[in-house]
Structure 1
């Protein structure tokens, strides 16, 4: 073990953040360029773009859970997480190279339509990202102790990743999305391949509770752990079945029923009492509450990521295709710049003073307000850019603090599994956005609905987080007593 790792120095935190940064950069390229590329270069409509984006969450459902379970148990290439980071990073780089060449790939395979090839490329890209994302986050929990050190690990992860995200959107805003894609392919490969060889993983994971560690994993127990997400699962299955069968509906009864089921399971989860000894009793209620709260954050954020282009096309009709791409890239550049600066330098000290959950609630509230303002005033690009800075507070927190909070509510020796299950609170809402919200937005003339949905979702998420207890704050209270 190198000295910087043993002493948990800042250079080590920077190094530890690079594999996750590689996947974050790949995701930034996907967010900035995919919708723009499919609409302006390959002529797909809003509904088809939603289908392509649906491929990613499907990959996430399969990829992160299974890779998480496997990486908890295996050991090869001198690592538990390392092999999956190396494999996923290589595949992600290759798929980024394929993105601007979907038409070439389609022609070389003898296919006349682009949609199927676009879905295949997006699916492989997101599966590659998900193969690596789980291990890149789990490895931080593996090599840092609980408490402030782990919070620092995840906030540095977002600071470094966010800084590279700024670079991604700066490249897209300055030189265009094609340059961004090719630069991204090289960076993703390098940041995935080199850093893992300088991080020493523990061959035996810490067991926080023997009974929980020895408990066998079953489908039934996995489903019970994700009970707050059952409504999302049911609707996603229904929506996928409709897409595959070609059945068209003119009503929203299924959506209403799914919403009622989702709210029911989320409410009964949130109002169950949580206490500081829950993990030692093999009770994962704290983890379930985080799933419930975090899912609504991603419902709102993903709606913006996927459909901001539709909002801008309506509100700024004079923009050319290239200008539209640059406005989107600049918007996400500002979002990423703010979210890169906050975690390590502002969120960490605030979390230490006021508690991680309280700080997260404040950031989500600011994001909900920001989304509401974009829906009203976002037709001017300069106002949009200013409001994107406000949204950066919420985004910075969403992709840093929940990981630290969640990692201390589950069995440490099963971190890969729980990271995979935690990811379901991201990918299941993403899938709902692609399959359900996309159809709804496509049928509504006023695309301000994009940010109205985002605002309501973030407000619900902030309220849900008020029912989550902060393990770090609880430990401090016990020590004071």
Structure 2
């Protein structure tokens, strides 16, 4: 028994929750390092402060994948209970994040936020495989990428929109997140929960009995329990997953470098507006601690020092808004990539490996271009547009290649285990890998983007390891 082919709007509705998920990820990716810098973090320590995010994914995604494979709720179905739980927790974390008063608080909320996003996200990947026949899976993952692109672009522009259009201030006292960022995160929380609810109310899942019929009533393996099943899957993962894992390793190392260090790298190299260090302008005691008056207001060395600090901080906040806005271009170009691929794959065959390789090469060149455009913010449109082609492919092609080659009964678990190749490179980067490689090239923070470019090129040529014809070739029906 074959799964019925779905119409465009059916696939759109079941993927729409990704708009909210990407609002959470885009606000995190474009603004989190800015929050850490605002709270006093040194730029070289920022990747380590992000480590909670990939750690949450490493732990949460295989567990959620297993649980969603083995869940059936008479009203919400198999995957939708996890969509709803993750959306509620993520929305709470988004509202609280910009009100963090200390670095440890922001890092803790980042852990909660990323774990919660993962609760929603991984079942979404599995839902595409649940609902669509193999002939429509590339199409389904590309539509997800289209929606992700929309979310990335809109969410990345929210802080600048709040300041420029709604006239909500992007300035704040030292150590306080600007009001424009706070409002942007609240909007993100509302969009996250709302879009997930749209998917929940418009999408019906196949029952366990229907799934068995689609799988030809194949004999199911005995359930050995969650821990043994997950460990067994790690030990016996298919060869295609290992090969794709090499590509994923280099790809996600590159994007983690961008998310964590693009703001300090670009505000200083492109805009000449690095975050001013308050210690250079404020009065400090013999231990180097900042001094405050009776009302806990920072004491500056002079009125001139205060004016200079506020002017530099304003330039930094304006540059940060613009960096976030221009980062959103990679979401926009990934959306264009997905839209073109959606129309093409609905009628024609594609070579998934070739598409992914070319897209990653373009993204690598986009990162490398940043080194050569100091003082020219407009060229960032070109850089991030090229990066968007890589991002659009990363979000669709590996999953399409994998889903064509693994057991559909374990799709949630397989997608969760595959996530290992996403989070391990991020953990290595967070533990000092990206800063170490950057400093091998030079002390300037822009070289973090150079590292990202080199790693995307390595990811591109790693596609040559993939030889499984079923994974490479996509034929429309």
* Category of TM-score, reference length = shorter chain: 0.7 to 0.9
Residues 445/189 of structure 1: CA separation in 2 closer, same or farther (3 Å cut): same
For residues 406 and 102 of structure 1, do their structure 2 counterparts lie closer, same or farther at Cα, with a shift above 3 Å needed? Answer: same
Quick one: structure 1 residues 86 and 49, their matched pair in 2 at CA, closer, same or farther if it must change by over 3 Å? same
In the TM superposition, residue 178 of structure 1 has moved relative to its aligned partner by: 3.0
Name the counterpart of 1:322: 317
Q: Structure 2 residue aligned with 1:190, among 184, 194, 198?
A: 194
User: CA shift at 1:171, angstroms?
Assistant: 2.0
Q: 1:213 to 1:46 in 2, by over 3 A?
A: farther
Q: Distance in 1 between matches of 2:223 and 2:343?
A: 34
Distance 2:391 2:82 in 1: 27
Q: Which has the higher helix share?
A: 1
2:149 corresponds to 1:162: yes
Aligned match of 1:406 = 402
Out of 203, 219, 222, which is 1:199 matched to? Answer: 203
Asked which structure has the greater CA Rg, the reply is: 2
Which SS does the other structure have where 2:16 is aligned?
A: helix
Residue in 2 aligned with 1:429? 425
Range with bigger deviation, 15-24 or 58-67? 15-24
Q: Secondary structure at the match of 1:13?
A: helix
Note the 1:24-423 alignment, pairs <5 A.
Answer: 24-40=22-38, 42-76=39-73, 77-103=75-101, 114-147=102-135, 149-175=136-162, 176-204=180-208, 205=211, 206-207=214-215, 210=218, 213-214=221-222, 216=224, 222=230, 226=234, 284-315=238-269, 316-318=271-273, 320-346=315-341, 349=344, 352-377=348-373, 379-423=375-419
Aligned to 1:463: 461
Cα 1:449–1:11, aligned 2, differ >3 Å: closer, same or farther? same
Normalising by structure 1, we get a TM-score of 0.78
Offset of residue 309 of structure 1: 1.6
Distance across 2 between alignment mates of 1:383 and 1:397 = 22
CA distance in 1, matches of 2:111, 2:333: 30
Measure, in 1, the Cα distance between the counterparts of 2:219 and 2:458.
35
What's the offset of the Cα at 1:24?
1.4
Aligned-pair Cα RMSD in Å: 2.7
Determine the C-alpha separation between the residues in 2 that align with 1:32 and 1:170. 9
1-side partners of 2:240 and 2:188: how far apart? Answer: 37
Change (3 A) 1:99 1:470: farther
CA offsets 1:73-119 (integer angstroms, 9 cap, x no match): 1112431111110000011011000111112xxxxxxxxxx232222
- In the aligned structure 2, how far is the partner of 1:89 from the partner of 1:135? 12
Q: Which residue of 2 aligns with 1:110?
A: none
User: Judging changes above 3 Å, is the alpha-carbon distance between structure 1 residues 186 and 470 closer, same or farther for their aligned structure 2 residues?
Assistant: farther
Per-residue deviation, 1:476:
6.0
Contact 1:90 1:192 in 2 (8 A): no
The residue aligned with 1:273 is: none
Q: Alpha-carbon deviation of 1:183?
A: 0.8
1:425/1:211 Cα in 2 relative to 1: closer, same or farther (>3 Å)?
Answer: farther
**CA distance in structure 2 between the partners assigned to 1:414 and 1:312 by the alignment:** 42
Aligned residues: 408
* Residues 369 and 350 (structure 1), Cα distance of their counterparts in 2 relative to 1, 3 Å cut: farther
Summarize deviations over 1:438-471 as a string: whole Å, max 9, x none.
Answer: 5426865222321221122111111111221341
